[in-house]
């Protein structure tokens, strides 16, 4: 009983969040929670506002209405960003000539420690190695990032996002342009992070196939929150049927 | 060599040149990777208006140039951010306008003086003692700041959005980087002149980037190439009676060619 109370701890709360780009409304009155241990998929058609929602949660955009709480604090005053990992939708548009090694890239994540990084050099090296091992890329430390494939780069960005051992990891369409087999390994890796490392995962995706196989919670977004609940319930929900029937850009096939 | 070092003006030029070269190379690496390589060219042209104004009002042109460059750099940054104007478009508009203003002011100041010529084509060999200290001081500040923040600058340059999401104060650091750029351009202008300042900022950095496989290497290689170009350039200029600025630029270009070929050559092995 006690442990399930801990399990259901709320990490992120959105209360009546709305957002517009100029006069164009993108999100309307979103209220929902992300709890510790969730593997949440946010799905919805192109332009539904998924990326915008994540950016609001991360404090990169200010909602025009409503509030966001991260670990109990209003996002405007939250400063402990090393507890939050983020891999943006654009992260993999890497300049192939950019002179950074894999190690350099993962080390960037450590900069999120407040003013003076209080880790010793050795601790930093160990953190970087652990993160690379978790994504199965420990043999590529000294490679220039531009020499890796898209899927490998994506793993490096995840390593960067988890190098501080965050409580929650946000991934914005992480497998766009990655081949099917790599995707399978990739989602198995996320499963492991979620179950063994106890990292809460929030995954934006188009792909209902992924949703069916891996996640525990589903949020369906199209300007408004159309549905939010467990995955099992989602499959029987009207939102799901509407989505399959409605010709959205969602795909349910496995490649 | 002894004779070389007995000339006060040469020593001054050497000292100032070395410091400015390092500052230019460091900033250059970031500017190239930010796809902002032309900002130096543009800012220098705008700065021409500041120099002319300084000559007209009898205010130290270097100080005037610094002020104008910083304002212009911040203005261009804001325009890019807020007005959705492409960076290179903003630079094209403001550099030509600044230069036009400079020509008018210079004419008002009483035709084109020798001074102005120096600002256009570089006059490192006539650098005054006060300017030497100013240049060295400012260049030292630039180098120190870049070294202090280089990991954060690198993160921002590589992936701005993630840097923001990591809680890094990107807006503040962007202002710092922009001000440093403006200061560096004005310093570089003193060495190779308004028309060639890009060379000092972009070419050594581009050369270093050819060979570097990580960021530290890029920064160190670029700095070394810039310093050697300036040193050799001044030596050649002195002994062969060539213009220092042009010689420095041509040398850095030769270094670039060398690095470029070395890199392409590598691929065959
Ligand atoms: N910077 C922006 N300025 C104006 N409109 C934007 C901007 N970014 C996104 N939008 C618009 O907001 C809507 C939601 O975008 P986004 O959150 O990226 O959707 P999704 O990630 O679900 O595909 C889209 O209609 C998009 O055109
Ligand atoms: Mg998106």
CA–CA distances in Å: residue B196 to residues A11, B104, B248: 55, 21, 10
Residue B81 binned pLDDT confidence (cut-offs 50, 70, 90) = confident
CA distance B24 to chain A (A): 18
Query: Hey, whose CA ends up nearest to atom 11 of ligand 1?
Result: A47
pTM for the whole structure: 0.88
pLDDT at B83 over 80: no
Residue B214 to residue A101, Cβ atoms within 8 A: yes
The two counts, helices (H) then strands (E), for chain A are 9, 10
Question: What phi and psi values does residue A218 have, to the nearest 5 degrees?
Answer: -130, 135
Report pLDDT digits (tens) over A145-185.
999 988 889 899 999 999 999 999 999 998 776 777 778 88
Average predicted confidence (pLDDT) for chain B: 88
Task: Taking residues B105-112, report their average pLDDT.
Answer: 77
* pLDDT the model gives residue B233: 95
- Cβ atoms of B116 and B106 closer than 8 Å: yes
Please work out whether the CB of residue A57 comes within 6 Å of at least one atom of ligand 1.
no
pLDDT at B168 over 60: yes
pLDDT at A11 over 50: yes
pLDDT at B111 over 60: no
- Nearest-angstrom CA–CA distance, B254 and B262: 12
Enter the DSSP assignment of A5: H
- CB within 8 Å of B52: residues ≥ 6 apart: B101, B102, B103, B104, B105, B106, B109, B116
Report pLDDT digits (tens) over A19-37.
999 899 999 999 999 999 9
CA–CA distances in Å: residue A73 to residues A67, A251, B168: 10, 36, 18
User: Does a structural domain hold residue A251?
Assistant: no
Q: Residue A48 sits in a domain of what CATH number?
A: 3.40.50.300
Q: Find the residue in B nearest to A91 (Cα).
A: B159
The two structure tokens encoding residue A197: 């490392």
Residue A181 or residue B36, greater confidence = B36
Rg from Cα positions in chain B: 18
pLDDT at A212 over 80: no
* pLDDT the model gives residue A73: 93
Please tell me the class of the B2-260 domain. Answer: mainly alpha
User: Helix/strand/coil (H, E, C) string of B195-239?
Assistant: HHHHHHHHHHHHHHHHHCCCHHHHHHHHHHHHHHHHHHHHHHHHH
- CB within 8 Å of A228: residues ≥ 6 apart: A32, A217, A218, A219, A220
* pLDDT the model gives residue A95: 85
Q: Smallest Cβ distance to A99: which of B161, B166, B213?
A: B213
* pLDDT the model gives residue A97: 84
Task: Taking residues B35-63, report their average pLDDT.
Answer: 87
ipTM given for this complex:
0.85
* pLDDT the model gives residue B177: 94
Give the number of other Cβ atoms within 10 Å of residue B81's Cβ: 11
The two structure tokens encoding residue A108: 């960037």
Helix (H, G, I), strand (E, B), or coil: what is residue A39?
strand
* pLDDT the model gives residue A245: 62
User: Does a structural domain hold residue A254?
Assistant: no
What percent of chain B clears pLDDT 90, i.e. is strictly above it? 52
CA–CA distances in Å: residue A186 to residues A163, A180, A190, A192: 17, 10, 6, 10
pLDDT at A244 over 80: no
- Residue-wise burial string across A13-29, b where 16 or more C-beta atoms lie within 10 A, e elsewhere: bbeebbbeeeeeebbbe
Residue A1 binned pLDDT confidence (cut-offs 50, 70, 90) = very low
User: Does a structural domain hold residue A250?
Assistant: no
Which of A52-66, A167-181, B52-66 reaches the highest mean pLDDT?
Answer: A52-66
Match 């300017």 to its residue by tokens. Answer: B131
* pLDDT the model gives residue A5: 44
Indicate the range of B106-120, B138-152, B222-236 predicted with least confidence.
B106-120
* pLDDT the model gives residue A129: 96
Task: Taking residues A10-23, report their average pLDDT.
Answer: 94
Query: Hey, whose CA ends up nearest to atom 16 of ligand 1?
Result: A49
> Looking at beta carbons, which residues of chain A come within 8 Å of B213?
99, 101, 144
* pLDDT the model gives residue A14: 96
Report pLDDT digits (tens) over B184-233.
999 888 888 888 888 899 999 999 999 998 899 999 999 999 999 999 99
User: Does a structural domain hold residue A255?
Assistant: no
The two structure tokens encoding residue B18: 């070395």
Residue-number span of the structural domain to which A68 is assigned = 3-245
- Cβ atoms of B106 and B61 closer than 8 Å: no
* pLDDT the model gives residue A255: 38
- Nearest-angstrom CA–CA distance, B146 and B140: 10
- Nearest-angstrom CA–CA distance, B22 and A195: 50
The two structure tokens encoding residue B42: 């543009």
CA–CA distances in Å: residue B155 to residues A108, A170, B179: 6, 19, 19
* pLDDT the model gives residue A227: 82
pLDDT at B90 over 90: no
Q: Which of B174, B205, B178 is nearest to B22 (CA)?
A: B205
Residue B111 or residue B145, greater confidence = B145
CA torsion sign for A144, A111, A134, A176 is negative
Indicate the range of A152-156, B123-127, B142-146, B246-250 predicted with least confidence.
B123-127
Please indicate if any CB of chain A lies within 8 Å of the CB of B164.
Answer: yes
Backbone conformation region of residue B57, classed left if phi is above 0, alpha if psi is from -120 to 50, else beta: alpha
The two structure tokens encoding residue B7: 């000339």
The two structure tokens encoding residue A1: 């009983």
User: Does a structural domain hold residue A239?
Assistant: yes
pLDDT at B54 over 70: yes
Q: Find the residue in B nearest to A106 (Cα).
A: B155
Q: Smallest Cβ distance to A97: which of B161, B209, B215?
A: B209
- Taking each helix axis as running N to C, give the angle between helix A102-110 and helix A150-162, from 0 to 180 degrees, rounded to the nearest 10: 30
Query: Hey, whose CA ends up nearest to atom 5 of ligand 1?
Result: A21
* pLDDT the model gives residue A115: 53
**Which sequence spans correspond to the domains of chain B?**
2-260
- Cβ atoms of A206 and A251 closer than 8 Å: yes
Report pLDDT digits (tens) over B174-184.
999 999 999 99
- Cβ atoms of B46 and B72 closer than 8 Å: yes
Enumerate residues 182 to 221 of chain B having a beta carbon within 8 A of any beta carbon in chain A: 209, 212-215, 217-218
User: Does a structural domain hold residue A253?
Assistant: no
pLDDT at A233 over 90: no
- Residues in chain A, overall count: 255
- Nearest-angstrom CA–CA distance, A176 and A87: 13
Residue A99 to residue B215, Cβ atoms within 8 A: yes
Report pLDDT digits (tens) over A92-137.
678 888 999 999 999 999 986 565 557 788 999 999 999 999 999 9
Q: Smallest Cβ distance to A144: which of B154, B166, B213?
A: B213
Distance from the alpha carbon of residue A51 to the mean position of ligand 2, in angstroms: 4
- Strand pairing report for A217-222 and A224-230: antiparallel
Domains in chain A, number: 1
CA distance B48 to chain A (A): 33
- Nearest-angstrom CA–CA distance, B15 and B127: 11
Q: Which ligand 1 atom sits closest to the C-alpha of A44? A: 22
Give the number of other Cβ atoms within 10 Å of residue A163's Cβ: 26
Average predicted confidence (pLDDT) for chain A: 85
Please work out whether the CB of residue A52 comes within 6 Å of at least one atom of ligand 1.
yes
Please work out whether the CB of residue A48 comes within 6 Å of at least one atom of ligand 1.
yes
* pLDDT the model gives residue A253: 41
The two structure tokens encoding residue A90: 């654009």
Helix (H, G, I), strand (E, B), or coil: what is residue A27?
strand
DSSP-derived secondary structure for chain B: -HHHHH-HHHHHHHHHHHHHHHHHHHHHHHHHHTT-TTHHHHHHHHHHHHHHHHHHHTS-HHHHHHHHHHHHHHHHHHHHHHS---HHHHHHHHHHHHHHHHHHHHHHTTS--HHHHHHHH--GGG--HHHHHHHHHHHHHHHHHHHHHHHHHHHHHH-HHHHHHTT--HHHHHHHHHHHHHHHHHHHHHHH-GGGHHHHHHHHHHHHHHH-SSHHHHHHHHHHHHHHHHHHHHHHHHHHT--HHHHHHHHHHHHHHHHHHHHHHHTT-
């Amino acid at each position: 009983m006690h442990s399930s109370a801990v399990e259901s701890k709320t990490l992120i709360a959105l209360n009546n969040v709305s957002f517009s780009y100029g006069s164009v409304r993108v999100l309307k009155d979103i209220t929902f929670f992300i709890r510790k241990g969730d593997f949440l998929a946010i799905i919805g058609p192109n332009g539904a506002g998924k990326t915008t929602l994540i950016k609001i949660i991360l404090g990169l955009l200010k909602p025009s209405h409503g509030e966001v709480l991260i670990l109990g604090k209003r996002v405007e005053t939250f400063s402990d960003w090393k507890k939050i990992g983020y891999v943006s939708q654009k992260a993999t548009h890497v300049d192939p000539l950019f002179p950074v090694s894999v190690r350099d890239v993962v080390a960037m994540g450590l900069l999120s420690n407040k003013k003076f990084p209080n880790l010793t050099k050795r601790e930093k090296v160990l953190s970087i190695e652990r993160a690379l091992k978790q994504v199965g890329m420990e043999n590529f430390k000294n490679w220039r990032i531009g020499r890796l494939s898209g899927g490998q780069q994506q793993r490096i960005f995840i390593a960067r996002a988890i190098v501080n051992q965050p409580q929650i990891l946000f991934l914005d369409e992480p497998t766009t342009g990655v081949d099917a087999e790599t995707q399978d390994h990739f989602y198995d890796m996320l499963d492991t992070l979620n179950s063994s490392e106890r990292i809460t995962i929030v995954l934006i995706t188009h792909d209902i196939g992924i949703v069916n196989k891996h996640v525990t919670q589903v949020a369906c977004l199209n300007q408004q929150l159309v549905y939010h609940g467990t995955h099992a319930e989602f499959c029987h929900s009207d939102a799901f049927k509407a989505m399959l029937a409605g010709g959205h850009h969602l795909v349910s096939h496995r490649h | 060599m002894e004779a070389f070092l007995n000339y006060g003006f040469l020593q001054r030029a050497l000292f100032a040149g070395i410091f400015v070269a390092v500052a230019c190379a460091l900033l250059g690496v970031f500017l190239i990777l930010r796809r902002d390589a032309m900002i130096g060219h543009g800012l220098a042209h705008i700065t021409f208006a500041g120099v002319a104004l300084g000559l007209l009002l009898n205010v130290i042109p270097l100080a005037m140039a610094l002020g104008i460059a910083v304002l212009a750099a911040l203005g261009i940054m804001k325009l890019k951010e807020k007005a959705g104007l492409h960076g290179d478009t903003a630079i094209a508009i403001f550099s030509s306008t600044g230069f036009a203003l400079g020509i008018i002011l210079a004419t008002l100041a009483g035709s084109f003086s020798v001074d102005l010529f120096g600002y256009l084509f570089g006059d490192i060999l006539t650098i005054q003692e006060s300017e030497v200290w100013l240049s060295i001081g400012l260049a030292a500040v630039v180098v120190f700041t870049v070294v202090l923040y280089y990991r954060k600058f690198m993160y921002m340059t590589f992936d701005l959005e993630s840097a923001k999401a990591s809680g890094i104060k990107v807006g503040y650091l962007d202002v710092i980087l922009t001000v440093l750029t403006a200061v560096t351009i004005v310093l570089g202008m003193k060495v190779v002149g308004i028309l060639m300042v890009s060379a000092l900022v972009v070419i050594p950095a581009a050369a270093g980037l050819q060979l570097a496989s990580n960021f530290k290497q890029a920064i160190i290689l670029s700095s070394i190439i810039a310093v050697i170009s300036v040193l050799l350039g001044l030596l050649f200029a002195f002994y062969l009676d060539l213009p220092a600025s042009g010689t420095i630029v041509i040398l850095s270009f030769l270094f670039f060619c060398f690095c470029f070929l070395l890199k392409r050559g590598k691929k065959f092995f």
